[in-house]
Each structure stands twice: as structure tokens, then as C-alpha cells.
Amino acid sequence: MQFVSLKNFYFYSMHYYKNVLETIGNTPLIKLNQVVEDIDATVLAKVETTNPGNSVKDRMALKMVEDAEARGELKPGGVIIECTSGNTGMGLAIAAVVKGYRCIFTATSKQSKEKIDLLRALGATVIICPSEVHPDHPESYYSVAQQLYHKTPNSFWCNQYDNPSNVLAHYQSTGPEIWQQTQGQITHFIVGIGTGGTISGVGRYLKEQNPQVKIWGVEPHGSVLKSVHETGKVDISQSHKYATEGIGQDMVPVNVDFEIIDHIEKVSCKDAALMTRAILQKEAILVGNSAGAAVAGLLQLKKQLKSSDVVVVLFHDHASRYIGKILNDEWMEAQGYLNDTNRLVNS
């Protein structure tokens, strides 16, 4: 009888990642059940919370950094600058820790405290800017990031709204993953629209595989992208303050490819928030309000679906980002979202 050395067995069978950046991607596809029981189709969630920064933005953050390094725009010891609603900053901060960069981020005053605290915990400097001002205003988080870039030596401004690496990240990774995981059976892809990178990159890849795949975007009331998609013009009357984080725009990012998008659905911030809670309580998937918005938008479009359809809805980020907001009854009540029947259990 031969004996195999246990020590050697473990040595030769070990598998590990060289650093946390190698764990980005290959996120699971999970069937939704109770929250979509009224939908006559198979609905699958692409759950991006398993990325190291707990959001889909890890993909494009790393891609923007690596492409900037390849072009020589981001050099050793450099400073990464970005305007972020939190999740892109998280991905950039994680990449910066591993690669040895510093980060300076600008964020709007409506972003959750949890996001800001996490960015600072990773060593980033975070500057809070007013959320009520127009993007061209010198105090907007776009403008402040640009100003910081011009006055900070050895810095790189990612500018996720216009940076083509944002779209490429999803064209090269998220789109192919969805196609492979559904074995090419996907008929609809639905996702909240923010910078436009996810919907444009995934949408472009899926339509190249099958032009019949429908690409649906979701945005909150107060965002202007639906009017641009339908008329080619920004309808300023549609623009107003909204509570939903991470999706929606008061400007038109270069990365939004309107030709890829088949339809944009608007949802209320209340419906997005309540659906976020429903996903947690009925599916046990811990996600943020952009996921709630996407599912709420899908329910509004349910009459366009049939039983043979396979819908993939992308879940952007994790519930931990919204403990003080969506998961807090006091905050929800202050927004006018709660009544006696929809409070958190045992609250």
C-alpha cells in the first residue's frame, strides 16, 4: 500500500488569488422568485455584490486604472481623482491600496454616510459637494474633481462618465458572463442607468450575439435620460432632485449609447426603496436601491413579457451601503415612504 504525503498533497492542490483584484468578476446568476411572482417569465439576478468592493463598479474601476497605467497617464506613486457616488470610488480605492496609489474623491451630499466612511477607511480623501447644483457649477462634484486634477501633480482623473474603459469593462467581462451563464437564452437585460457604462457595454455585447435581445434601462423620476432617448434632447422640465443613489443623471454622459437601449423606464424613489426592502425580505439578497429600482421598473413592464422569456436584471451593490437610509425606518418615514404595513419586521 502506498501513502501520499499529506503535506505534498496540499501543496500541489493549493489554489489562491495573488491579490484581491483577481477576485473581481465571475459573479453569480440567481433566480428571483417571490418579488417577481407576477411576471410570466424567468427572471435571473446578476448579483454583483460578490465583487471585493461589493458592487459592479469594481469591474470598470480596475479597467480604468489598468488602461491609464498602460497609456502612461497613471504613474507609480500617483493620485487617482474621481467624482463618485461611492461605488466607483470603492473599486478605485481597493485598486489603489493594492497598487500603491493615493485617492481623492468628490461625492455629493446625498450619498449615504456608510459609503463615505468606507472610502475614508480605505485611505481615500473624500470631499463632499452640494447635490443640488448643476454639473457645470464650480461647486458640483464634477467640477471640483476636474479642478483637483488640474492642480494636483502626478494625478489621473478617471472621469467615469466619459471614459471608454468604463464601457469596455462590461463589454469584455459582464456581457460575456451573462451570455455564457444563460447559454445564450437571455431575451431581456434590465439595469439602472448611471454613467451608462454597464448598460452600454453589456448591451453592445449581447446584441452582437443576438440582435433580438432587448436592452431596458431604468432611471428615477428627476433624471433626464429617458427624454434624451426618446427625443434626442434634454427636457429640463424633467430634471429635479431625487433620493435614489447611483443611477439617474442631470446631464448626458458620453458613455450612454442610446442606440443600444431599446427602452428607458422611470420609477419613483419610493417604489425603488420599498422594492429594495422586499428583495431583502423575500429573496434574502442583500442589495441597494438601484436593484430595487431595476426590479420595480421590470414589474412596470411585465405585460411585455411572456413565459418563454429569460430576463437578467443586474443588482449593482450591497445593502450595507444603505443601513442609515433604505434600511432605516426613521429615514424612510422622513421621505414619506412608510406606513403601518411596510415597516421593517420587529422595528
Cell numbers at 169, concatenated: 469593462
Distance CA 339, CA 57 (A): 34
Cell 461625492 sits on residue: 107
The catalytic residue among 57, 63, 115, 226 is: 57
Helix ranges (H only) for the chain are 6-13, 57-71, 87-99, 113-121, 141-151, 164-169, 175-181, 197-209, 225-231, 269-283, 289-300, 329-334
Cell numbers at 84, concatenated: 463618485
Task: Provide the 8-state DSSP code for 234.
Answer: -
Please give the backbone phi and psi of residue 91, each rounded to the nearest 5 degrees, phi first. -60, -40
Task: Provide the 8-state DSSP code for 214.
Answer: E
Residues in the chain: 347
Task: Provide the 8-state DSSP code for 344.
Answer: P
Q: In 10 A of CB 335, how many CB atoms?
A: 13
How are strands ordered across the β-sheet holding 125-129?
A: 125-129, 102-108, 79-83, 155-157
Active site residue 57: yes
Distance CA 210, CA 72 (A): 37
**Would you name the residues annotated as active-site residues?**
57
